[in-house]
Amino acid sequence: MAGGISLRGLYALLVSISFFSALCAADAVGDLQTKGRAAFDAQLAKSTTCTKDKLQVRKEWGDISADAKKAYIAAVLCITQKPSKLTATYPGAKTRYDDFVAIHMKNSLTIHGTGNFLSWHRYFTFAYEQALRTECGYNGTQPYWDWGRYATSPETSPIFDGSDTSMSGQGAKVTHQSNGIKPAGNGGGCIEKGPFKNMTVNLGPVQAMADTTPPKNPRTDGFGYNPRCIKRDLSNYLTSRDCTTAKIASLITASKDINSFQTTMQSQNGVHSGGHFTISGDPGSDFYVSPGDPAFWLHHAQIDRTWYIWQVQDFTKRQQVIAGGTSMMGFSSKAQSLEDIVDLEVLNVDGKKWKIKELVSMTDGPFCYVYE
Ligand SMILES: *[C@@H]1O[C@H](CO)[C@@H](O)[C@H](O)[C@H]1NC(C)=O
Ligand SMILES: *[C@@H]1O[C@H](CO)[C@@H](O)[C@H](O)[C@H]1NC(C)=O
Ligand SMILES: [Cu+2]
């Protein structure tokens, strides 16, 4: 070869480049994930329902190829074109996508700040991933949004840069108020670029924040038909304050039991609120209707991943555990039990509802996946 570089030399160079980029990708949270993998693998080896050949791997948006991103985007757009199974009950639910929004709206007060928060949203996100696969021919997995990775600038991340391989980006710049959670950012209006610029939000609002001014729903419960654009107000205010890699790692290492883990995660300065209000807008900052923004699922996959990483730090002691009540409202809320049922109705995978105790392990119940 003229330049004197042999194929073997080129191969060695490529290997060292990929080794170097793996080193760069390593971070405190990734290290905790890696550290726990042996415990997960040991449990996987014992599972009768989840075998190694069936195991699905969920990856970070920035770590999947452009083709994989496009396949995911296509599946999401596909499910927004399939008919709802709930229109008769909730007239605003027009599409199969809306079914996910409606079931979340309906259950909002008994799935947040409660003992089932993590397990309910794990099954909910899984049901969405499975619907993309079985109803829209998707053969990939649910990607996640590692908040810490883009904490300084979520707007320019591959998730929100507005390109055709993103989840669409910032909303149009409009003058708007703060939502009370963070200062008004540089968006606030309808998303104008990327694959989801034409996506319609049909349900809600139920609890619109001061930064958005969506048209009122024809029904007081928000279940009427109210088609409108997706608005966003992305900014780095919350990610750089509450969702850095150091903050996520400390949530995982400092929470000694499930109660402190789930409470810290859902606190006002926690990662759950941080991710939701980084997206903000309508329906992003609406407590009930937030799954109407398709970035919801990447956020909740990361919530689920954070739970998984916390679990695998002491796997045998961190699965069959429960804390908290069954309702956000009222002091008389009953204690949540591992025997309680998670029933997603028309979203249930293979029509099955499950007990919480069957949803705490990703190699048990309906699940067979892991995070990398
Ligand atoms: C998944 O779908 C993509 C795009 O349709 C295709 O290129 C790929 O080969 C499929 N992978 C598997 C494992 O079926
Ligand atoms: C949005 O709709 C317009 C008008 O129908 C169409 O030209 C455009 O390609 C659509 N964009 C996307 C990303 O779907
Ligand atoms: Cu939720």
Q: Can you tell me whether residue 191 is helix, strand or coil?
A: strand
Q: Is a pLDDT exceeding 60 seen at residue 194?
A: yes
Is 85 part of any domain? yes
At residue 326 the predicted structure's pLDDT band, cuts being 50, 70 and 90, is very high
Cα 357 to middle of ligand 1, angstroms: 34
CATH number at residue 329: 1.10.1280.10
Which mutation among 72, 78, 139 tests ligand 1's pocket best, with the greatest number of atoms within 8 A of CB?
Answer: 139
User: Is 19 contained in some domain?
Assistant: no
* 198 Cβ closer than 6 Å to some ligand 2 atom: yes
Say how far apart CA 303 and CA 305 lie, in whole Å.
5
Domain extent, residue 350, equals 48-371
Q: How far is the CA of 139 from the centre of ligand 1 (A)?
A: 6
Q: How many domains does the chain have?
A: 1
Our answer on whether the CB atom of 195 is closer than 6 Å to any ligand 2 atom is yes
* Residue whose tokens read 């991103």: 69
CA of 342 to the centre of ligand 3 (A): 14
- Residue minimizing CA distance to atom 3 of ligand 2: 198
The answer to whether 321 and 119 have CB atoms below 8 angstroms apart is no
Indicate whether 235 pLDDT > 60: yes
Q: Check pLDDT > 90 for residue 34.
A: yes
Q: How far apart are CA 222 and CA 340, in angstroms?
A: 27
Q: Is residue 289 in some structural domain?
A: yes
1 part of a folded domain? no
CB of 162 closer than 6 A to ligand 2? no
From 5-9, 66-70, 225-229, the region with the lowest mean pLDDT: 5-9
Please give the Cα distance from 64 to 51 (Å, whole number): 23
With a 6 A CB cut-off, is 74 part of the ligand 1 pocket?
Answer: no
Q: Which residue has the higher pLDDT, 299 or 21?
A: 299
User: Is 344 within the bounds of a domain?
Assistant: yes
For β-strands 171-173 and 188-191, DSSP reports them as: antiparallel
The verdict on residue 156 lying in a domain is yes
Residue 11 lies in a domain: no
Whole-number Å distance between alpha carbons of 173 and 170: 8
Residue whose Cα lies nearest atom 10 of ligand 1: it is: 139
Of 202, 200, 372, 207, which Cα lies nearest the Cα of 277? Answer: 207
pLDDT above 60: residue 319? yes
- Judged against a pLDDT cut of 70, whether residue 12 lies above it is answered with no
Residue 13 above 90 pLDDT? no
Residue 42 has a CB neighbour count (10 Å cut-off) of 11
193 lines ligand 2 (CB under 6 A): no
State which of 164, 167, 192, 198 you would mutate to test the pocket of ligand 2, scoring each by most atoms of that ligand within 8 A of its C-beta.
198
CB atoms closer than 10 angstroms to residue 345 = 15
pLDDT at 21 over 70: no
Rounded CA separation 351/13 (Å)? 51
- pLDDT, average across residues 143-166: 98
Condensed to tens digits (0 to 9), the pLDDT of residues 55-111 reads 999 999 999 999 999 999 999 999 999 999 999 999 999 999 999 999 999 999 999
Instruction: Quote the distance between the C-alpha of residue 308 and its chain's center.
Output: 13
Decide if 74 is inside a domain: yes
From the CA of 72, which ligand is nearest? 1
- The chain-wide mean pLDDT, for the chain, equals 93
